[in-house]
């Protein structure tokens, strides 16, 4: 027992949690979410590309099913679920997300408008030529270190030998624990120019580098409008880039104009295109952009084309400025150039990124030419042995014929050991004792075929030897001289530029802040109608007057007000909601109405509207509130003049609710009706005026288990009749009583 107790280690629980969380956070940061500054790839991207390379899915070979690629990657290198691998594969194939796509996708790989890719069992993929020649070349030359995979049954590269600054060219985005990276894509040709400029002068400043890298180059084009801020962003690696879509004003039919959007901000790709169209439609419905008569999305595989048709004489420039101000047509891209550097996350400026890349390129070149030099020296050794063997070929044939085994012959070639070998003459034996070939040379001689003794073959061997010697001299020069290696790297970058560079798509400029004149809405008289189902619509006052009878018959509430006013909706749960009249659908009398739920937080499934009027009307009135438990009060309308979309209209006891909300300006009596058949008619003067938070006073003294069913406000000298068990009851003829009494029992 004592032995067991001695093995128990007591540790503070908070310390264990802290250490475990930090370990988890660093694992997510380094092994999942952030790219390595050397190849600009996250682990899932690196493993997917390497697996495609291993499977031989090259750019000049047939496509292979994505399901095969995903399954192989997950089984060998990335055991984190197929969806993360397929998502990474899809993004690397989307030319609207990546500056230079790394995967050539075949099938439905999604669209710029947010459509998702087809399932991986339907799509196919292969490597792009750029990926194969610039990202994966030289893996066989020991240019990068390999490490065991998760179960130590395979080996994978720690980093890919990428020969361009992919961290800049394709950008990056990722969310880790407590940090995130967001790097915009850049133009390949400009980045190569900047790398060459840095190699020529290590003391070059960020400002001088930006003579080559003008700024981000988004695959969706658009315009960067804060050029002056870019220097600070590229020096610190952090900041905000302001983007605008490209907008042209074209001539339409009948002298009208069209606003045509041909390029969008990078941040708008995906669902935000649909949101943009909805935002424009909302501006039209709210009559802020009433000059827009039609919205059509004519985008296709050829590119973005969104057309907004305008009314004749519309101010197109002002509308464009409104779109920049009110929609995502002008947006912000947050830059945070965070990458993994030597196993740790670090925020990098433009110069630092290029510096790390150049260091990596020199490391790759050093390892590559070290490997090539070793191979060429080995080749030279063998070639020299074969050339030397050709001069004494008769002696070598005599040794082979006189030897009893290959081992014996090889020993003679290397060490001159003639023991046990039969020679034709003593002179041959003396010559054999002077042989001193190396191990590799002896092996090559023994494996040499007789046709190699043909004169032309010997000449070819001599020519090949000259080339090998020249290669060795060149490789040694590259490895020994910085300038020579730099020239090789520059030549390689120039080849990459000539074959793969594309023109810039994004414009960089300093644009003035958007200024647009929001036209003052013309004040008009309107009528808002709501039916018993809660559907609401708004018509002009003159339209209402022509259809007054139909409106009264079909509507539960009819409110005459100004178009700039607000509607106040009072519900049985004691809530008040405000809706701008301008937000309501406006049109003809028989136009389609829309549920009021769409314009405020009111839910028809949970509460019921008791009263509706314009805020300007309510300000000048007093409202009566009556609850289910017979609590009554009068509240001044000025208390509801607040600028809140939703608020409490009154205080209610737990479980209580309102049965009546109504204005009392022309009313004289209040009638309360209980479920057990009691009616109480009293003067309004008996109900005191209270504040909103007050519960009120008791109106009718209810019997146990009874509650109010209805409440009515009666005007002067106007009869009001209700049906009680199919029999009419005139409320005005009920006995007038005092507040807080039982009232009169009416037989049912």
Say whether pLDDT at 687 is over 70.
yes
Q: 156 and 74 share a domain?
A: yes
Q: 583 and 526 share a domain?
A: yes
Strand partners of residue 559: 528
Cβ neighbors of 449 (< 8 A, separation 6 or more) are none
Residue whose token pair is 């079909």 = 554
Residue 316 domain flag: yes
Buried b (16+ CB within 10 A) or exposed e, 227-238: bebbbebbbbbb
Residue 275 domain flag: yes
Q: 25 and 156 share a domain?
A: yes
Q: Which two tokens stand for residue 99?
A: 């500056």
Q: 451 and 534 share a domain?
A: no
Residue 1 is predicted with a pLDDT of: 47
Q: 123 and 270 share a domain?
A: no
Percent over 70 (pLDDT), the chain: 95
Residue 586 domain flag: yes
Q: 606 and 664 share a domain?
A: no
Neighbour count for residue 345 (Cβ, 10 Å): 17
Cα–Cα distance for residue pair 104/106, rounded to 1 Å:
7
Residue 226 is predicted with a pLDDT of: 92
Find how far residue 274's CA is from the centre of its chain: 15
Q: 584 and 704 share a domain?
A: no
Q: Catalytic residue at 712?
A: no
Residue 300 domain flag: yes
Percent over 90 (pLDDT), the chain: 57
Q: Which two tokens stand for residue 636?
A: 């001044």
Alpha carbons within 13 A on the beta-carbon side of 467: 7
Q: 375 and 311 share a domain?
A: no
Kindly report, residue by residue over 275-306, the tens digit of the pLDDT.
899 889 888 877 778 888 899 998 888 889 99
Cα–Cα distance for residue pair 567/612, rounded to 1 Å:
7
For 294, the 3-state DSSP assignment is: strand
Cα–Cα distance for residue pair 669/671, rounded to 1 Å:
7
Residue 3 domain flag: no
Residue 585 is predicted with a pLDDT of: 83
| pLDDT band with cut points at 50, 70 and 90 for residue 437 | confident
Cα–Cα distance for residue pair 472/486, rounded to 1 Å:
18
Q: Which whole number is the average pLDDT over 33-43?
A: 90
Which CATH number do you get for residue 172? 3.90.199.10
Say whether pLDDT at 20 is over 80.
no
Find how far residue 710's CA is from the centre of its chain: 55
For the ranges 118-122, 392-396, 531-535, the lowest mean pLDDT is seen at 392-396
β-strand 306-310 against 257-263: which pairing, if any? antiparallel
Q: Where are the alpha helices (DSSP H) in 161-270?
A: 166-169, 188-200, 206-209, 230-236
Say whether pLDDT at 243 is over 80.
yes
Contact by Cβ (8 Å): 570, 592: no
Cα–Cα distance for residue pair 339/346, rounded to 1 Å:
6
Contact by Cβ (8 Å): 385, 437: yes
| pLDDT band with cut points at 50, 70 and 90 for residue 635 | very high
Residue 568 domain flag: yes
| Closest alpha carbon to 609 in 645, 569, 551, 580 | 569
Cβ neighbors of 482 (< 8 A, separation 6 or more) are none
Cα–Cα distance for residue pair 7/497, rounded to 1 Å:
64
β-strand 507-508 against 223-224: which pairing, if any? parallel
| pLDDT band with cut points at 50, 70 and 90 for residue 23 | low
Q: Which two tokens stand for residue 263?
A: 């390029």
Residue 290 is predicted with a pLDDT of: 80
Q: Which two tokens stand for residue 600?
A: 């405020």
Residue whose token pair is 């790297």 = 489
DSSP characters over 668-709: EEEEEEETTSEEEEEEGGGSPB--TT---EE-B-PPTT--EE
Q: 363 and 487 share a domain?
A: yes
For the ranges 199-208, 533-542, 564-573, 725-734, the lowest mean pLDDT is seen at 725-734
Contact by Cβ (8 Å): 210, 230: yes
Q: Which two tokens stand for residue 548?
A: 């007054």
**DSSP assignment, residue 227?**
G
Which CATH number do you get for residue 479? 1.10.268.10
Residue whose token pair is 């070598």 = 396
Catalytic residue among 50, 122, 212, 482: 122
Kindly report, residue by residue over 73-97, the tens digit of the pLDDT.
999 999 888 999 999 999 999 999 9
Cβ neighbors of 180 (< 8 A, separation 6 or more) are 33, 173, 174, 336, 338
Residue that finishes a domain, picked among 142, 157, 183? 183
Say whether pLDDT at 13 is over 80.
no
Find how far residue 313's CA is from the centre of its chain: 39
Residue that finishes a domain, picked among 593, 619, 645? 619
Which pairs with CB-CB distance under 8 Å and at least 24 residues apart come from 180-183?
180/33, 180/336, 180/338, 181/33, 181/34, 181/35, 181/336, 181/337, 181/338, 181/339, 182/333, 182/334, 182/335, 182/336, 183/335, 183/336, 183/337, 183/339
Neighbour count for residue 417 (Cβ, 10 Å): 15
Which pairs with CB-CB distance under 8 Å and at least 24 residues apart come from 518-523?
518/288, 518/322, 521/287, 521/563, 521/564, 521/582, 523/562, 523/563, 523/564
Q: Which two tokens stand for residue 637?
A: 């309308």
Say whether pLDDT at 4 is over 60.
no
For the ranges 25-39, 170-184, 602-616, 635-649, the lowest mean pLDDT is seen at 25-39
For the ranges 180-189, 335-344, 484-493, 725-734, the lowest mean pLDDT is seen at 725-734
Contact by Cβ (8 Å): 326, 263: no
Q: What φ, ψ does residue 417 adopt, rounded to 5°? A: -85, 110
pTM above 0.85, yes or no: no
Q: Which two tokens stand for residue 27?
A: 């694992």
Q: 308 and 369 share a domain?
A: no
Q: Which two tokens stand for residue 50?
A: 């390497």
Strand partners of residue 667: 715
> Mean pLDDT for the chain?
89
In which domain, by residue range, is 447 found? 356-500
Residue that finishes a domain, picked among 445, 470, 500? 500
Domain count, the chain: 5
Angle at 505 between CA 197 and CA 511, to 5 degrees: 90
Q: 463 and 612 share a domain?
A: no
Q: What φ, ψ does residue 248 adopt, rounded to 5°? A: -125, 150
Which CATH number do you get for residue 303? 3.30.1360.40
Kindly report, residue by residue over 657-674, the tens digit of the pLDDT.
999 999 998 889 999 999
For 195, the 3-state DSSP assignment is: helix
Q: 535 and 483 share a domain?
A: no
Query: Of the ranges 12-26, 171-185, 298-312, 350-364, which is most confident?
Result: 350-364
Residue 335 domain flag: no
Cα–Cα distance for residue pair 54/139, rounded to 1 Å:
11
Q: What φ, ψ does residue 126 adopt, rounded to 5°? A: -155, 170
β-strand 609-614 against 566-571: which pairing, if any? antiparallel
Contact by Cβ (8 Å): 286, 329: no
Residues in the chain, overall count: 748
Calculated CA dihedral for residues 549, 554, 558, 564, nearest 10 degrees? -110
| Closest alpha carbon to 165 in 496, 488, 464 | 496
Residue 7 domain flag: no
């Amino acid at each position: 027992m004592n032995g067991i107790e001695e093995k128990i280690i007591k540790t503070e629980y908070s310390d264990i949690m802290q250490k475990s969380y930090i370990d988890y956070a660093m694992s997510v940061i380094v092994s999942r979410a952030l790219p390595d500054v050397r190849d600009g790839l996250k682990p899932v991207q690196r493993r997917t590309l390497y697996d495609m390379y291993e499977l031989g899915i090259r750019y000049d070979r047939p496509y292979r099913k994505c399901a095969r690629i995903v399954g192989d990657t997950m089984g060998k290198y990335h055991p984190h679920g197929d969806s993360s691998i397929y998502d990474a594969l899809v993004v690397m194939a989307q030319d609207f997300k990546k500056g230079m796509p790394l995967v050539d996708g075949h099938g439905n790989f999604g669209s710029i408008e947010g459509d998702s890719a087809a399932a991986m069992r339907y799509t196919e993929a292969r490597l792009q030529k750029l990926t194969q020649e610039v990202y994966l070349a030289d893996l066989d030359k020991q240019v990068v270190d390999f490490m065991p995979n998760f179960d130590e049954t395979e080996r994978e590269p720690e980093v890919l030998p990428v020969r361009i600054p992919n961290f800049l060219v394709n950008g990056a985005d990722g969310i880790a624990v407590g940090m995130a990276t967001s790097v915009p894509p850049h133009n390949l040709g400009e980045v190569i120019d900047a790398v060459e400029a840095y190699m020529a002068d290590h003391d070059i400043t960020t400002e001088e580098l930006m003579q080559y890298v003008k700024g981000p180059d988004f695959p969706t084009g658009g315009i960067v409008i804060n050029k002056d801020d870019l220097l600070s962003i590229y020096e610190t690696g952090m900041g905000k880039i302001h983007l605008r879509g490209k907008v042209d004003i074209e001539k339409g039919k009948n002298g009208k104009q069209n606003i045509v959007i041909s390029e969008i901000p990078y941040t708008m790709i995906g669902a935000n295109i649909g949101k943009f169209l909805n935002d424009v439609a909302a501006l039209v419905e709210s009559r802020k952009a009433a000059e827009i008569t039609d919205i059509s999305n004519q985008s296709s595989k050829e590119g973005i084309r969104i057309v907004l048709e305008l009314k004749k004489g519309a101010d197109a420039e002002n509308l464009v400025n409104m779109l920049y101000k009110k929609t995502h047509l002008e947006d912000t891209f947050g830059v945070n150039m965070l990458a993994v550097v030597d196993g740790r996350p670090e925020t990098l400026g433009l110069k630092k990124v290029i510096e790390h890349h150049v260091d990596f390129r020199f490391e790759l070149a050093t390892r590559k030419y070290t490997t090539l030099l070793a191979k060429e020296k080995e080749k030279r050794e063998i070639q020299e042995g074969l050339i030397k063997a050709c001069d004494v070929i008769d002696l070598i044939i005599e040794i082979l014929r006189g030897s009893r085994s290959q081992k014996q012959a090889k020993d003679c070639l290397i060490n001159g050991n003639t023991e046990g070998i039969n020679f034709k003459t003593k002179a041959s034996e003396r010559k054999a004792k002077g042989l001193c070939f190396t191990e590799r040379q002896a092996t090559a001689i023994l494996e040499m075929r007789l046709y190699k003794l043909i004169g032309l073959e010997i000449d070819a061997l001599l020519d090949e030897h000259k080339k090998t010697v020249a290669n060795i001299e060149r490789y040694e020069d590259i490895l020994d001289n910085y300038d020579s290696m730099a020239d090789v790297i520059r030549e390689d970058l120039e080849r990459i530029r000539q074959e793969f560079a594309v023109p810039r798509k994004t414009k960089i400029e300093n644009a003035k802040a958007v200024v647009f004149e929001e036209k003052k809405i013309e004040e008009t008289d309107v009528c808002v109608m709501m039916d018993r189902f809660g559907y609401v619509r708004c018509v002009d006052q003159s339209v209402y007057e022509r259809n007054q009878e139909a409106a009264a018959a079909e509507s539960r509430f009819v409110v005459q007000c100004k178009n700039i006013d607000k509607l106040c909706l009072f519900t049985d749960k004691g809530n008040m909601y405000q809706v701008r009249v301008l937000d309501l659908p406006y049109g003809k009398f028989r136009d389609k109405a829309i549920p009021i739920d769409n314009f405020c937080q009111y839910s028809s499934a949970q509460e019921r509207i008791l009263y509706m009027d314009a805020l300007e009307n309510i300000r000048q009135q007093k409202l009566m509130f009556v609850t289910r438990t017979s609590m009554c009060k009068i509240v001044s309308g000025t208390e509801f003049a607040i600028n809140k979309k939703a608020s409490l209209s009154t205080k209610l006891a737990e479980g209580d609710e309102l049965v009546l909300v109504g204005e009392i300006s022309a009313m004289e009596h209040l009638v309360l009706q209980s479920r057990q058949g009691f009616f109480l008619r009293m003067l309004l003067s008996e109900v005191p005026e209270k504040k909103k938070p007050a519960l009120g006073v008791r109106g009718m003294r209810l019997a146990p288990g009874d509650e109010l069913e209805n409440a009515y406000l009666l005007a002067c000298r106007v009869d009001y009749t209700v049906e009680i068990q199919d029999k009419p009851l005139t409320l005005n003829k009920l006995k007038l009583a005092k507040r807080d009494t039982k009232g009169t029992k009416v037989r049912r």
